[in-house]
């Protein structure tokens, strides 16, 4: 059985040890590839590893006869047609939380930077201006930080901010246990009105779109600061620019924008461009070498689990199924099929007729797709597998022997 992976977009070298140890052959291509070149490069490979720029469209996925897994060595998966992949039983993996710490640390740096006016003072120095003044410069100790969204990143920011002596309050729509002495508040309104710095760590949803608009900004304390390292759609940048210009907001740090350039070659402008007391970064909150290494290790381990055991835990597009290691002398059948009644009993019938005993079995379905792992007696010949393959409902079938 061919076990190989095509790695694109200079995926970190730390992805390689786990893959190599599992006997998976690695091929690399430098950057991203356009559609036809991508199809040609994938060829008969069983896996591909990409980052955010390679477009795994329906036609690319359909044209890859042996593809079993698409590994996104990044956070997002919207560069992959997840439905098309699921319809072929192709698992898509990613690494949603490996850069949590990186975003949290950048947020802390920005809180201090904004409170001390570091970035404006730095720019002034580079222009030859010696502006030695304590006006509007504050310690963060004792100031109130309001965290909106107390998930992976929000709760890390909470711990780090408390270590600096900040008072931390947070608002989340799901009840979350407080870290340290942080205090949960029961509304966004309350959080906005009490915080010296508000930092946003929510996902993009219908509810969070434009969550921080002109009305929300009016609820913030006079001179308070706003940080958005989450998603670009969450803050109305025009309203923020207006509030910064008339001094109601004392400063802002923004890493994400409603529209972001596709590459470094495109020029970038937004409502905040050129305003003082604003730190703008090009969506780099999670971009550190440490995060890249952690992503490389995590995603490659997921691929190995999928190849060696059929494990799909944390796959983003297909049912999550996991069984312990199969026992000596047993075979494992991985079967993706259409989610219709009677498939399992057909499979059981075929096994019973072949006098093959089942030792373990786990099935999950989502939408139109079902995935079952079966540990069975060692198959003496190909009859059982041929009959599974001939079933109308079968999408993809694999034997681990
Ligand atoms: P997470 O899923 O762990 O936490 C999000 C939290 O927000 C959850 O606790 C959830 O209950 C809460 N939430 C959802 N809707 C809410 C609402 N309407 N009001 C209040 N709370 C709400 O996500 P994680 O990993 O902490 O990421 C947070 C954000 O950061 C995401 O938008 C993610 O895309 C973004 N991000 C940005 C990066 C960057 O480079 N700037 C890198 C990594 C993540």
| Per-residue model confidence as pLDDT tens for the chain (401 residues) | 568 999 999 999 999 999 999 999 999 998 889 999 999 999 999 999 999 889 999 999 999 999 999 999 998 898 999 999 999 999 999 999 999 999 999 999 999 999 999 999 999 999 999 989 999 999 999 999 999 999 999 999 999 999 999 999 999 999 999 999 999 999 999 999 999 999 999 999 999 999 999 999 999 999 999 999 999 999 999 999 999 999 999 999 999 999 998 777 889 999 999 999 999 999 999 999 999 999 999 999 999 999 999 999 999 999 999 999 999 999 999 999 999 999 999 999 999 999 999 999 999 999 999 999 999 999 998 999 999 999 999 999 999 99
Domains 1-99+288-318 and 100-280 in one fold: yes
Integer CA distances (angstroms), 203 to 46, 48, 254, in order: 32, 27, 15
* Residues forming a β-bridge with 235: 212
Atom of ligand 1 nearest to the CA of 205: 15
Helix (H, G, I), strand (E, B) or coil at 296: helix
Q: Please state, in angstroms and rounded to a whole number, the distance separating the CA atoms of residues 377 and 385.
A: 13
Going 270 to 273 to 278 to 282, the CA torsion angle's sign is positive
For residue 372, count other CB atoms closer than 10 A to its CB. Answer: 20
From the CA atom positions of the chain, what is the Rg in Å? 26
* Residues forming a β-bridge with 184: 170
Q: Please report the pLDDT score of residue 270 as a whole number.
A: 96
DSSP code of residue 288: -
Ligand 1 neighbours, Cβ below 6 Å, are 75, 97, 99-100, 103, 148-154, 171-174, 176, 201-205, 207-208, 229-231, 255-256, 283, 285-286
H/E run at residue 228: strand 224-228
Q: Please report the pLDDT score of residue 79 as a whole number.
A: 93
- Minimal-distance CA residue to ligand 1 atom 2: 151
55, 59, 69, 99: which is closest to 5 by C-alpha? Answer: 69
Integer CA distances (angstroms), 393 to 53, 357, 370, 383, in order: 34, 22, 10, 18
For residue 33, count other CB atoms closer than 10 A to its CB. Answer: 21
Instruction: Verify whether residue 127 is a known catalytic residue.
Output: no
107 in Cβ contact with 146 (< 8 Å): no
Instruction: Verify whether residue 27 is a known catalytic residue.
Output: no
* Tokens (6 digits) for 366: 């989502």
Question: Thinking of the domain 319-401, which architecture would CATH place it in?
Answer: 2-Layer Sandwich (3.30)
Pick the CATH number of 100-280 from 3.40.50.300, 3.30.2010.10, 3.50.50.60, 3.40.50.720: 3.40.50.720
99 in Cβ contact with 105 (< 8 Å): no
DSSP 89-130: T-EEE--TTTTHHHHHHHHHHHHHHHHHTHHHHHHHHHTT--
Per domain, the residue ranges of the chain are 1-99+288-318, 100-280, 319-401
Atom of ligand 1 nearest to the CA of 76: 34
Of 116, 283, 359, 396, which one is the catalytic site residue? 283
Sequence-distant contacts of 76-81: CB under 8 A, at least 24 apart: 76/52, 77/316, 77/317, 79/50, 79/52, 79/53, 79/54, 79/55, 80/50, 80/56, 80/317, 81/56, 81/57
* Fold entry, domain 1-99+288-318: Rossmann fold (3.40.50)
34, 33, 85: which is closest to 64 by C-alpha? Answer: 85
- Minimal-distance CA residue to ligand 1 atom 44: 230
Instruction: Verify whether residue 260 is a known catalytic residue.
Output: yes
- Minimal-distance CA residue to ligand 1 atom 9: 151
What is the dihedral angle through the alpha carbons of 243, 246, 249, 255, rounded to the nearest 10 degrees?
60
112 in Cβ contact with 140 (< 8 Å): yes
Q: Please report the pLDDT score of residue 31 as a whole number.
A: 80
DSSP 335-384: EEEE--TTHHHHHHHHHHHTT--EEEEEEEEETTEEEEEEEEEPPSSSHH
Q: Please report the pLDDT score of residue 229 as a whole number.
A: 98
For residue 5, count other CB atoms closer than 10 A to its CB. Answer: 23
């Amino acid at each position: 059985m061919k076990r190989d992976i095509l790695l694109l977009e200079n995926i970190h070298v730390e992805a390689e040890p786990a893959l190599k140890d599992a006997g998976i052959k690695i091929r690399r291509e430098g950057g991203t590839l356009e559609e036809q070149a991508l199809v040609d490069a994938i060829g008969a490979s069983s896996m591909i590893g990409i980052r955010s720029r390679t477009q795994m469209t329906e036609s690319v996925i359909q044209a890859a006869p042996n593809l079993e897994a698409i590994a996104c060595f990044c956070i997002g998966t919207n560069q992959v047609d997840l439905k098309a992949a699921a319809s072929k039983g192709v698992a898509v993996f990613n690494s949603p939380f490996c850069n949590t710490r990186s975003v949290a640390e950048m947020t802390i740096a920005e809180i201090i930077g904004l409170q001390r006016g570091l970035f404006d003072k730095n720019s002034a120095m580079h222009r030859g201006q010696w502006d030695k003044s304590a006006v509007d410069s504050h310690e963060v100790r004792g100031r109130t930080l309001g965290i909106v969204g107390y998930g992976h990143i929000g709760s890390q920011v909470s711990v780090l901010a408390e270590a600096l002596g900040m008072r931390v309050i947070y608002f989340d729509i799901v009840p979350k246990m407080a870290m340290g002495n942080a205090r949960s508040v029961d509304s966004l309104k309350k959080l906005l009105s009490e915080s010296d710095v508000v930092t946003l760590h929510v996902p993009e949803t219908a509810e969070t779109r434009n969550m921080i608009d002109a009305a929300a900004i009016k609820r913030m304390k006079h001179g308070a600061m706003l940080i958005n390292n989450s998603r670009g759609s969450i803050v109305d940048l025009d309203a923020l620019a207006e509030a910064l210009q008339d001094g109601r907001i004392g400063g802002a740090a923004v890493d994400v924008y409603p529209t972001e350039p596709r590459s470094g070659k495109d020029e970038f402008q937004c409502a905040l461009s050129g305003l003082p007391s604003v730190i703008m970064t090009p969506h780099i909150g999670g971009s550190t070498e440490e995060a890249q290494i952690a992503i490389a290790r995590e995603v490659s381990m997921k691929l190995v689990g999928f190849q060696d055991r059929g494990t799909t835990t944390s796959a983003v597009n297909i049912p999550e199924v996991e069984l312990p290691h199969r026992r000596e002398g047993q075979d494992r059948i991985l079967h993706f099929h259409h989610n219709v009644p009677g498939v399992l009993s057909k499979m059981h019938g075929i096994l019973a007729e072949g006098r093959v005993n089942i030792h373990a079995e786990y099935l999950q379905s989502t939408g139109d797709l079902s995935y079952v792992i079966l540990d069975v007696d060692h198959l003496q010949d190909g009859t059982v597998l041929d009959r599974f393959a001939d079933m109308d409902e079968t999408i993809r079938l694999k034997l681990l022997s």
